[in-house]
Amino acid sequence: MQTLFDNQTYQEVLQRIENLDEHSQPVWGQMDVAQMLNHCQRPLEVANGRLTFTEKPGFAKKLVFKFFKPQMYNDKPWKQNIPTVKDFKVEQAKPFVEEKQKLKEVLSEFNKKDLNLHWPKHPFFGEFTTEQWGKMQYKHIDHHLRQFGV
């Protein structure tokens, strides 16, 4: 499984982002390209400790998420059109150029944490190791870059 902490993988992701333009169309889903770029920043900002959830999961929801946790970082690609949490939904229009630049900045900050031992606790999934964070973040961004054909 690839990880955003591998330099070659990180550079490939940056190139794929660079291949997007404001006219890129989704293969599936409802987000436009600028909304997708904004959406991809949000899980990275959780890992970077800059975003907290407004939604607080109850016991039942935490139990369900615990069951799905290994799927966040295993080798199996995510299915298309899977639901997301409220705090990651982007419904308003976003400026493409600014969102593209911001995603690259947030990715760079995350990429530099490859030796990090202390990560914020994910509000739905709980604790992740550095390896799991790197794989999960790669899997998420890869999912959405494939959504836009890059």
The pLDDT, as a whole number, for residue 48 is 94
The pLDDT, as a whole number, for residue 122 is 86
The pLDDT, as a whole number, for residue 54 is 74
The pLDDT, as a whole number, for residue 58 is 81
Helix (H, G, I), strand (E, B) or coil at 73: coil
Instruction: Give the pTM.
Output: 0.92
Q: Which two tokens stand for residue 15?
A: 């190139």
Q: Residue 116 in contact with residue 130, Cβ under 8 Å?
A: yes
Residues of the chain with pLDDT under 70: none
Q: Residue 124 in contact with residue 62, Cβ under 8 Å?
A: yes
The pLDDT, as a whole number, for residue 99 is 99
The pLDDT, as a whole number, for residue 55 is 75
Backbone CA torsion sign across 148, 76, 80, 63: negative
